[in-house]
Amino acid sequence: MSEFSAALRAVPPPFFVRLAALWRQWRAELFGTRLNAALTLGSLAFLAWAVPPVFRWAVLDATWTGTAETCAASDGACWAFIGEKLRFMAFGPYPAELRWQPALATTLLLALVVASCVPRLWGRALPPAWIAAIAAAVLLMAGGITAPSVPTGQWGGMPLTVLLCVAGLAGAFPLAVLLAIGRRSNMLVARVLATGFIEVVRGVPLIAVLYVATLMVPLMLPAGMMMDKLLRTQIAIILFAAAYMAEIIRAGLQSVPAGQYEAARALGLPFWPLMRLVVLPQALRTVIPSFVTLGIGILQDTTLVVVIGVFDFLNAARTAATDPDWLGFYDEAFIFAASVYFLLCFAASRYSLWLERRLQPGG
């Protein structure tokens, strides 16, 4: 008998029964109480008010191909503008015939990031791979092997955004480890310096750090010594990211049980091997999801380099709409840029959630 009822339960109910159950559930959720019904109707009214005009602008009345004149003739969005300006938005003022170089560099960096997201590949090969990939990307961007080299003032667009973000995170990592260890050290000078640096950098806006890089640093170098503006920007982003990353790593260090330190000491490990072989691997593993969140933040923060006149992706998209032939298509440019940022950040945040579940003990 019980076998029979178990077999009966294993058979899925017919389609219309499931549909009816779903409908009952939805009806309860959307119209179950008076409040719920009011909220549903309110939301529907909002959608009815907001969606049709946007849909008409973005799809029905939109111009998909053509010139600025055909765009000006219709009320809708001008997606032809995106098609026309795609290359400029992607690469900024980089010389047109050499664009394969930054494209290759970006592919390399993105492949590096994606590979680093696979838990099976986490290991000793990653740090050298990051250094090699970033060095190769910088060399590719600079060019000069087969063609004339490209000054950093002409770098721009998506490759620059990716480079600033990836090299920023990679450069911040060793510094952040030192800062986190220093902040937890019993050595007074190390603790005060690390804490002071972290709190000051976290207390001021990124724009202030960028001002330091663009306005203060040239004044602080000895006469005749120059430093490339993009390099200064990159260092500013590294220092900024390091302060936030140090706090993440500190949280990870605190999560390692004291017994691990004591066991490593009992094995006779000196301080640095103890950190490298026992503590850091455990500490870093728990905070990788926070690293991903920090990476999203830094990717979004790289847009602030607009303020000091560096041509990142957002700046390139905005500048595209100032072309006299295609003047004023700001909404289209911003929506396109927003979609690109959204795709990158949304994917990263989903990955972070997935990783958090996976890294949970027993998950």
Site residues for other proteins per CB under 8 A: 26, 29-30, 32, 35-36, 39-40, 42-44, 46-47, 181, 184-191, 193, 200, 203-208, 211-212, 215-216, 219-223, 258, 261-262, 265, 271, 296, 299-301, 303-304, 306-307, 314, 318, 330-331, 334, 337-338, 341-342, 345-346, 349
What is the sign of the dihedral through the CA atoms of 261, 266, 267 and 271?
Answer: positive
Q: How far is the CB of 106 from other proteins (least distance, A)?
A: 18
Choose between 285 and 318: whose C-beta lies nearer to other proteins: 318
- Say how far apart CA 212 and CA 39 lie, in whole Å: 50
The Cβ of residue 65 has, within 10 Å, a number of other Cβ atoms equal to 9
Structure tokens at 136: 């190769």
In the three-class reduction of DSSP (H, G, I as helix; E, B as strand; rest coil), residue 256 is classed as coil
- Say how far apart CA 172 and CA 245 lie, in whole Å: 7
Q: How far is the CB of 11 from other proteins (least distance, A)?
A: 29
Q: How far is the CB of 52 from other proteins (least distance, A)?
A: 16
Q: How far is the CB of 31 from other proteins (least distance, A)?
A: 9
Choose between 27 and 132: whose C-beta lies nearer to other proteins: 27
Choose between 7 and 220: whose C-beta lies nearer to other proteins: 220
Choose between 59 and 200: whose C-beta lies nearer to other proteins: 200
Q: How far is the CB of 63 from other proteins (least distance, A)?
A: 18
* Residue burial 120-153, b: 16+ Cβ < 10 Å; e: rest: eeeeeeeeeebeebbeebeebbebeeeeeebebe
Choose between 112 and 299: whose C-beta lies nearer to other proteins: 299
Sequence-separated (6 or more) residues with CB below 8 Å from residue 71: 63, 78, 80, 81, 329
Angle between helix axes 15-31 and 34-55 (nearest 10 degrees) is: 100
* Residue burial 304-315, b: 16+ Cβ < 10 Å; e: rest: bbbebebbbbbb
The Cβ of residue 267 has, within 10 Å, a number of other Cβ atoms equal to 11
Q: How far is the CB of 306 from other proteins (least distance, A)?
A: 6
Choose between 167 and 256: whose C-beta lies nearer to other proteins: 256
Q: How far is the CB of 219 from other proteins (least distance, A)?
A: 5
Choose between 40 and 154: whose C-beta lies nearer to other proteins: 40
Read off the DSSP letter of residue 13. P
